Structures are given as C-alpha cells and as structure tokens.
Structure 1
Amino acid sequence: MEATAAQHQPYTPSEAGFWRVTIALMLASLSIFSTLYVFQPLLPVFTSELDITATQSSLLMSACVTAMVFGLFILGFAADRYGRALVMRGSLLFTALSLVLIPIMPEFEWMVTLRFIQGFFLAGIPAAAMGYLGEEVSYRHIGLAMTLYISSNALGGMGGRVVGGYLTDLFNWQMTLWSFSAFGVLAAFLFLWLFPKERFFEKAEQNLVVDLKGMLIHLKSGPLLVLFLLGILMQIVFTAVWTYLPFYLEGDPFDWPLKWIAFTYFAYLFGVLAPPAAGRISDQAGLKRVMFSGVVIFLIGTALTAVKEGWSIMVGLSLLCMGFFVAHSMASALVSKTATHHRSGASGFYLISYYLGVAIGSTAVGTLWEKFQWYGVLSVGFLLIVLFILYPFYKDA
C-alpha cells in the first residue's frame, strides 16, 4: 500500500527516480546542446575552406535555430498532447543520426538545409523537459532539478565549442562532427535505459482546436510575457558575443589560433556551476530577484570584453556566462511555476523567444560586425535596458 502511494507522489531527491530523471535529462541536454553549438567555433574554418563570408557561415547556426523555433512550438504542443517521453526519445535519435550526414553533403547549401531539418528535432528535449519536470518532480525540489538541467545545457554548449574547436585544430571539421554523432548515439541509448515512464501525464482528449487555444492563452499572461522577452533579449546579446568572438580573437591585436580560441569557452564552467548555487539562494531571496541579479552580472561581463586585453576578455566571458545561465535557470523555473496548465507549451513559448534570440544574434548581428567590428556586436547589449524598465511591472505568480 505504501509502495503504491509512493508511486503517485512526485519525485524527491531522496528517491532513485529523481536522479534517474535528472541524469537522463542531463545526458540528453549534453547531446542536444553540444550538437547545436559545435558549429560556432568552426565558422572561421567554414569561411576559409568553403570560400564564404562570415555572415554566410553563420547560417549553419541561424538556420538550425530558426527551425528550433518551429520545433519548440510543434513539439511542445505534441508533448503536452501525446507524451513528453516519446518526443524526447525521437529527438535524441534523429539528432545523433543527422549529424553523421552533414560532413558528406556536396554543397554548403545542402549543409544548411540539413542543419535546418536537424534544428526542428533538436527542439524535442528543451520543448518537453521543463514540462516533464514540472509534473513529475516535487514542487519544493523543482528548482534543484531545473538548475541541474540548465547547468548541463551550459556544459553541453561548452563541450561542443571547446572540444569541437580543439578536435578541428588537431584533425578536421568532418572528424569532429562524426565524433559528436557517436557521443549522441551513446547518450540516446543511455537515455532510453534510464528515463522512467511518465506517471502524471494524461493524454489530451479534448478537441485539437480547444487544446491549441489553451496553449495560446499563455500569450495573455503579463508575467510570462516578461519572461519570454527576457529570453529573446538576453540570447541576442549572448549569441552575438559567442558567434563573432572567434573572428574577433583571430584578428588584430590578438591573432589567436583556433585551439586557443576554443579554450575561451571554458568560461562556460561558470555557467555550469552558478545555477545550482543560485537555486539555493533563490529559496531565500526569491526567483525574480536572483534572475535580475543575473542580468546585471551578464551586462558587466559583456562590457569587460570591450577592453582589448586577454585577461579582461576572459573575466568578462566568465561573468557573462555566470549571469546568463543564472538568469536563464531562474526564468525557466518561473515559467514552470507560473503556468498552471499546458506546461510544455509555456516552456515552449519561453524557448521559442530564447532561440529567436539565437537566430537574431548569430546572423542578423553579422551586419554590425562587418561594419563596426566588436563594438558593433556589443552595442546590442543596450537592448537589455528594456528589462529593467519593465521590472517594476513584473510580479511572481
């Protein structure tokens, strides 16, 4: 009787199920985000080997992320309606297998096309993970589970960039992508083995149109709209910095080789370590205060990269990553806390705004880079002032 009752209680850290869920989602996150971002440090390589411009090479990022926006909406809706575990399993398998094909594409345009298709399926994990945690994990412990998941986002992004840049410097970009594909297949099989069945998910029986309207109602929530805006604005700045950083550091006065540039992505370690600490602080200070503190740290770090000294750039990038992932993890927890229904849909809208920021920050900012170089890239940081103007109007749900 007690065992049956326990099966109908949300997971807590004292249970093995909590850690099976957390570890499985961390592995999935490592695979998804390393695949997404492994291309970023390689953009100068594509520019020289394929005889294309920096803005054209950035399409390998922006095409993937643009497709993720569609995937987050469609797969987030499907996850709420048909099951989150199913969506996440399919996402992992297709992502790993599609990465095998990109190095054998005959033309750059075909590479971009396959990245676009891959981007749609990359969205499966982020579209469903936060909704799954919101239902299956104890309300008191969702902050811990969410910050561990977000930390693995940062670790995956760091691994994709650091390992990708280093392997390419040693071998070539084709070998790099095949290596990441092999890791993706391994992560997918481990996920299938570890991830427990959903216990609280109820398949939607209502009319499809009614269900869609229930999801769209999130766009009428003031607190959620502020969080969606935070996602897009912070990601524009964050992506712009990391996309054009390799071009900045390979030129004067730095002249760094690719493997040195790849090491700058170790700044992501601060993005891995900071969110769990921020999660504990938020228990006393509140999610909202910690979230906006993260934005302040992020802005300070961005400003420090304007100083043309290696130490200042590294300190700036470390603070930038710390502030970004603290703000992102707090915003993610607030989205799950604020939404009372269609949680995957609410998380999907937040991530749609988040990845719209990636698309804008990667290719659209290319014009600023080509005309004004690094100061043009940093100028998009002024967009974040909007968040502080809206701060007094935001209230936790």
Structure 2
Amino acid sequence: MKVVDTLEGTAEHHQPYTPSEAGFWRVTIALMLASLSIFSTLYVFQPLLPVFTTELNITATQSSLLMSACVTAMVLGLFILGFAADRYGRALVMRGSLVGTALSLILIPMTPDFEWMVVLRFIQGFFLAGIPAAAMGYLGEEVSFRHIGLAMTLYISSNALGGMGGRVLGGYLTDVFDWQVTLWAFSVFGVVAAVLFLRLFPQERFFEKTEQNLIVDLKGMLIHLKSVPLLVLFLLGILMQTVFTAVWTYLPFYLEGDPFDWPLKWIAFTYFAYLFGVVAPPVAGRISDQIGLKKMMFTGVTIFLTGTALTAVREGWSIMIGLSLLCMGFFVAHSMASALVSKTATHHRSGASGFYLISYYLGVAIGSTAVGRLWEEFQWYGVLSVVFLLVFLYVLYPFYKDA
C-alpha cells in the first residue's frame, strides 16, 4: 500500500507546469532572462558595424563578418548542442551556454585586432546556440500542452526584446562613449543573467537520458529532414531571416548616408520598432487559438512583406512605419513556426527545434555578409531585392489552407 501511495504521489507531483504553479513562472522568467542575454549579445554588434568600418579601416562587408561568423558558429552549435540536449539534458546545455556567452563577451573588448575579434565572435556563436537549441524542447516536455503557447510566445517576445535592447543600447552607448564601454556593459548584464538563471531554472522532470547507440540516436534526429511539414517550416526560417537580417544589417549604412545623414544614436532609436515584435506574438498566440497556427503564421508573413515595402520610400515616417510592421510580422511568423515545430515533432524535439533554428540562422548569415555585395552595387534597393525570395512561401501556402 505504501508503495502504491508513493507512486501515486510521485505521478501527481510530476505534472507538466501550468500558469497556476510557481514552477511555470520560474521556468518562464529564467528563459526570458536567458533570451535577453543571448539575443542582446548576438545583435549588439549590428548597429556598430559602421563604427568598425571607420575605426578599423575595413569595408562594410568585412565588418559584417562580426555578425556572420557568429551566426555560422551558431548553426554548428545548434546541431551539436541540440543533439546533446536530447541525449544528455537540456538544463545542462542551457547553463553552459550562458556561462560561455558571458565569458567570451568579456574578452572581446580586450581584443583590438579585427581578425581575433572575428575568431572570438565565432567561438561565442557556438555558446549562444545552447539556449535556442534546448529551450523549445524543454518547454515542449515540461509545460502543459494547453499552455505551451503562452510560454513560447513569452520566450519569443524576449528574443525580440533582447535583440532590440542590444541594438538600441548598443548604438546609443557607443555614440555617447565608445564600443569598448558598450561591450563591457553588456558583459556585466550577461554575468548577472547567468547567475540568476543558475539559481532559478529547475532541472527537467520528464527528460529520459537515452542509452541507445549514438548512431541510432543520430538517425532518429535526422528523420526530421524527411518530414514535409517540418521542411516547409525550415524553409520559412531561412527565407524570412535572410530578408529580416539584410534590412537591419544595412539599415545603419542606409540612414547615415544621403538623404538622411542621421547620427548613430538616432539610428539606434529605429530599433524601438522591435517593441512591436515584443507585443505582437502573445496577441497572435491568442488569435491562433481561433484561426490556427499556420494561418496566423502566413498572416505574419503578409504583414512582414508590407513593412519591408514601406522602407523603400525615402521618408523617415515611412521607414519607421515599415520597420514596425516588419518586426510585428516577422516575430508573429517566427513564434507560430516555433510552436508548430514543437507540435509537429513527436520525438527528438530539441533536434527538430535545432534544425528549425539552424535554417533560421543560416538566414542570418546569408542576410548579413552575402547581401553585402548587393548593398555595395545597388544600395538599399539591392538589399530589398531579396524580399522576392518570400514568394516561395506563398507557393507553399495551399499545403496549409485547411489547417
């Protein structure tokens, strides 16, 4: 009888987290802090690229290597760490990610040589991958299916807030002080976020460490590449992020030239458009309960395209409205796609999320450095030309029209 009671008590205790429990909010707040640290660190370099071109006497395309080297390593890290998270535990991977990110950021301001800065950013990119590689898989198992949309949209909103904070504060602090002071400030935040995460974040309760052969386990993860619904989501990640990154990477160069001639701190304020990316996903999550995740995802793509088109008008008001819509649409589509990946994958969830994010960050790499040639040859209209890649998403829409 005592054994039965013990088993029943254990089963009752190990229920997925719901918003009525403190555990749900510990998980959510910890992941939000981690997201703020990871994405502010990733994107703080973006508004600083024109500064590096001037101070280090390099081209715009060369300076963009500080972004593309980082995200290229993230792609590698997402695959390796996503696999490790499924095999050895998500909490372990995420804790190591935050510590490694903070330590690598501390070293970069000490490095005056551009080539070594790129090397350190590459190393940092691998550590940055740990949170996005494991977070969605963790939520998929530890949070109630009914409430995973809330947890996921809060996490994605923090992605947007971290990206906005990195860009806005990065540009402003550099304009007032210098880029070294900026990176020191973000290093301090990274250390604080890591310490709080280590104290708040609970260990997995439903994770089961696999004992099967490594090759068999790897094949189990790779089977996601045979799923047509998942492949479409991976394609969306590449195409959406290519356009989004291209716009934000070359926007500072665009606005500092004619006819705008904006100073860096003014340009930094354009990143407040990310607030729409913070607010929109939770609202979209509620709407998706009525119309479905896939329809909401393509609604986000449509808003995104509208905003991108408005940035072609050489007026400050049009660019700001366009950037706001661009952020709103992008993060709605991204949050819906993230939820669909977790919902569609029935096993190796961190691996599936890792594949989605690999495609997502391949788009970052393409949109940063690869689009540099279009900027140098055709300026802003060359950058915007990559938006035609999104036509493929509408070709694929009929596959989801009944969802």
Structure 2 residue corresponding to 1:77, chosen from 75, 83, 92: 83
Contact 1:298 / 1:323 at 8 angstroms: preserved in 2? yes
Given the alignment, which residue of 366, 389, 395 partners 2:395?
389
Letter in 2 for 1:260: W
Q: Distance in 1 between matches of 2:358 and 2:183?
A: 26
Name which of structure 1's ranges 103-112 and 328-337 shifts more when overlaid on structure 2: 103-112
**Aligned with 1:255: secondary structure?**
coil
Q: How does 1:1-397 map to 2 (within 5 A)?
A: 4-394=10-400
Percentage of identical aligned residues: 88
Q: Distance in 1 between matches of 2:230 and 2:35?
A: 24
Distance 1:289 1:176 in 2: 41
Deviation of 1:276 after TM superposition, in Å, equals 0.3
Q: What is the distance in 2 between the residues matched to 1:190 and 1:342?
A: 28
CA distance in 1, matches of 2:291, 2:62: 44
Shift of 1:392: 1.2
CA contact 1:226–1:394 (8 Å) conserved in 2: no
Tell me the amino acid that sits aligned with residue 326 of structure 2.
Answer: L
Per mean C-alpha deviation after superposition, the further-off stretch among 2-11 and 124-133 is 2-11
3-state secondary structure, aligned to 1:389:
helix
TM-score by length of 2: 0.97
Shift of 1:6: 3.6
Cα deviation for residue 3 of structure 1 reads: 5.8
The Cα offsets for residues 178-226 of structure 1, whole Å up to 9 and x where unpaired, read as 1001000000010011101100000011000000000000000000000
Q: Which whole-Å CA distance do the structure 2 matches of 1:7 and 1:210 have between them? A: 32
3-state SS in 1 of match to 2:154: helix
Measured against aligned partners, the alpha-carbon deviations of 1:278-334 in whole angstroms (never above 9, x if no partner) come to 000111110000000000000000000000000000000000000000000000000
Cα separation, 2, equivalents of 1:244 and 1:105: 25
User: Residue 308 of structure 2 contacts residue 322 of structure 2 at CA under 8 Å; is this kept in 1?
Assistant: yes
Question: Aligned-pair distance for 1:111?
Answer: 0.3
| Pairwise CA distance, 1:393 | 2.3
Q: For 2:278 and 2:102, how far apart are their aligned partners in 1? A: 23
TM-score normalized with structure 1 length: 0.99
1:48-78 deviations in Å (ceiling 9; x for gaps): 0000000000000000000000000000000
Partner Cα separation in structure 1 for residue 401 and residue 118 of structure 2: 41
Unaligned stretches of 5+ residues in structure 2: none
- How many residue pairs were aligned? 397
Deviation at 1:105, TM superposition (A): 1.3
Distance verdict in 2 for CA 1:216–1:396, change over 3 Å:
farther
Task: Give the direction of change, closer, same or farther, for the CA distance of 1:281–1:216 in structure 2 (3 Å limit).
Answer: same
Unaligned runs of 5+ in 1: none
Measured in 2, the distance between the counterparts of 1:340 and 1:63 equals: 32
Secondary structure (helix, strand or coil) at the match of 2:259 reads coil
Question: Does the aligned pair in 2 maintain the 1:65–1:355 contact within 8 Å?
Answer: yes
CA distance in 2, matches of 1:163, 1:318: 18
2:295 and 2:400 in contact (8 A); partners too: no
Q: Is the 8 A contact 1:42 1:173 kept in 2?
A: yes
In structure 2, what is the Cα distance between the partners aligned to 1:93 and 1:395? 44
Q: Which amino acid letter does the alignment assign opposite residue 34 of structure 1?
A: S
**Are 2:273 and 2:324, in contact at CA under 8 Å, matched by a contact in 1?**
yes
* Cα shift readout 1:329-351 (whole Å, capped 9, x = no counterpart): 00000000000000000000000
Amino acid of the structure 1 residue aligned with 2:42? L
Q: Deviation per CA, 1:339-389: give whole Å up to 9, x if none.
A: 000000000000000000000000000000000000000000000000010
Question: For residues 395 and 302 of structure 1, what CA distance do their matches in structure 2 show?
Answer: 24
Q: How big is the shift at 1:4?
A: 3.5
Structure 1 residues 82 and 121, CA gap change in structure 2 (3 angstroms): same
Residue pair 1:34, 1:160 contacting (<8 A) in 2 also:
yes
2:295–2:401 contact (8 Å) kept in structure 1: no
Secondary structure of the 1:333 match is: helix
